[in-house]
């Protein structure tokens, strides 16, 4: 009987091993739940209505608890240090401290005609007082009635060197493009130049760029290396805690043929669906224009898509 009483007492006290806390999320929402596990990457809680939840520490602003037992309590600074830790992509240390996301969009129909549209992307950004990095990998595939209409891959990497106490910057980037339906098989582009941050606020940035680019096509009628002048503009606007808009456009003009040019433009609108899972909905528009193309190839290549974005 005494042993049974001890077991019963232990079961009754078991919930006390977890402690109730008020957790403020990056969206401004607050939840009151019992914390059952806390690591550098996530916090597990048990909510009276929502049940068991796992919250990424990147989405937590603060944890406030006045009832934490002394042996369990952590200083606020220690909690903040724990929240700021990032073990990188998939916990492997890759791209640690970068903002990372994975995008997936699939559309299809069957009936009088069959169609499939597939879009996937990986984006990663990093910035501090001295530099900014931008990495993007995009793949698109479309098919209608068994015939592919889009099949392309784009990879880009850009770095900005920021100057202290100045709005000026230096930048360099490299791009790889593969497209089944272009007049070339794949293209390599390198760019180096200077930029200027016209607007540099927490929720709004506008950066102009100009530089020298080098382009080389492979598998087209003209595979010669071609130097170009590049002009570009980047904009990033965080409208509120759940909405943001990004815009990027670049113009390239060959030195030898100033009348010819090509333009790459991209506009994305993102809407936060779930802060706990870092889940968003994104609508994107993209267009590539070339003034000189091979016979049978269109000057404009316009794409639009809707997709789901997961924070990694």
79 and 159 assigned to the same domain: no
179 and 293 assigned to the same domain: yes
φ, ψ at 123 (rounded to 5°):
-125, 145
Q: What is the pLDDT at residue 19?
A: 56
306 and 204 assigned to the same domain: yes
Question: Residue 51 is part of a domain; what is its CATH number?
Answer: 2.30.30.100
173 and 67 assigned to the same domain: no
How many folded domains does the chain comprise? 2
φ, ψ at 27 (rounded to 5°):
-80, -10
Tell whether 93 is covered by a domain: no
Q: What is the pLDDT at residue 113?
A: 54
The more confident residue out of 289 and 172 is 172
Tell whether 247 is covered by a domain: yes
* Three-class secondary structure of residue 298 per DSSP: coil
Q: Report yes or no: 141 and 118 within 8 Å, Cβ to Cβ.
A: yes
Q: What is the pLDDT at residue 196?
A: 97
φ, ψ at 292 (rounded to 5°):
-120, 115
Region 113-136 average pLDDT: 88
Query: What pTM, to 2 d.p., does this model score?
Result: 0.66
Domain that residue 272 falls in: 99-311
Region 16-33 average pLDDT: 74
Question: Residue 233 is part of a domain; what is its CATH number?
Answer: 2.40.160.40
Q: What is the pLDDT at residue 93?
A: 72
Quick: pLDDT tens for 75-106: 444 444 444 566 777 777 778 888 899 999 88
Distances (CA, A) of 54 to 35, 51, 184, 223: 10, 10, 47, 53
174 and 31 assigned to the same domain: no
Tell whether 207 is covered by a domain: yes
Give the pLDDT band of residue 231 (cuts 50, 70, 90): very high
Measured CA to CA, the distance from residue 44 to residue 40 in angstroms comes to 11
Q: What is the pLDDT at residue 278?
A: 86
């Amino acid at each position: 009987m005494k042993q049974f009483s001890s077991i019963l007492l232990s079961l009754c006290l078991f919930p006390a091993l977890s402690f109730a806390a008020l957790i403020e999320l990056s969206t401004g929402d607050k939840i009151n739940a019992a914390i059952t596990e806390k690591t550098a990457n996530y916090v597990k809680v048990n909510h009276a209505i929502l049940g068991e939840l796992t919250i990424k520490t990147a989405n937590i602003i603060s944890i406030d608890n006045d009832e934490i037992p002394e042996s369990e309590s952590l200083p606020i600074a220690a909690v903040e240090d724990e929240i700021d830790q990032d073990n990188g992509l998939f916990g492997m240390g890759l791209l640690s401290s970068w903002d990372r996301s994975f995008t997936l969009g699939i559309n299809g129909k069957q009936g009088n005609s069959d169609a499939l549209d597939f879009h996937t992307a990986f984006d990663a950004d990093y910035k501090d007082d001295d530099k900014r990095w931008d990495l993007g990998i995009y793949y698109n595939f479309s098919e209608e009635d068994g015939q592919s209409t889009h099949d392309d891959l784009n990879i880009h990497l850009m770095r900005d060197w920021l100057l202290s106490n100045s709005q000026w910057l230096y930048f360099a980037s490299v791009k790889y493009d593969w497209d089944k339906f272009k007049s070339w098989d794949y293209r390599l582009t390198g760019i180096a130049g200077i930029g200027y941050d016209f607007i540099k606020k927490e929720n709004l940035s506008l950066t102009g760029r100009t530089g020298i680019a080098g382009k080389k096509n492979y598998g087209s009628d003209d595979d010669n290396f071609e130097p170009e002048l590049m002009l570009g503009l980047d904009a990033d606007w965080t409208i509120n805690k759940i909405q943001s808009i990004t815009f990027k456009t670049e113009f390239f003009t060959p030195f030898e043929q100033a009348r010819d040019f090509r333009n790459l433009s991209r506009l994305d609108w993102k809407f936060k669906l779930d802060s706990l899972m870092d889940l968003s909905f994104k609508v994107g528009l993209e267009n590539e224009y070339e003034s000189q193309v091979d016979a049978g190839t269109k000057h404009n290549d316009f794409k639009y898509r809707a997709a789901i974005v997961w924070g990694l």
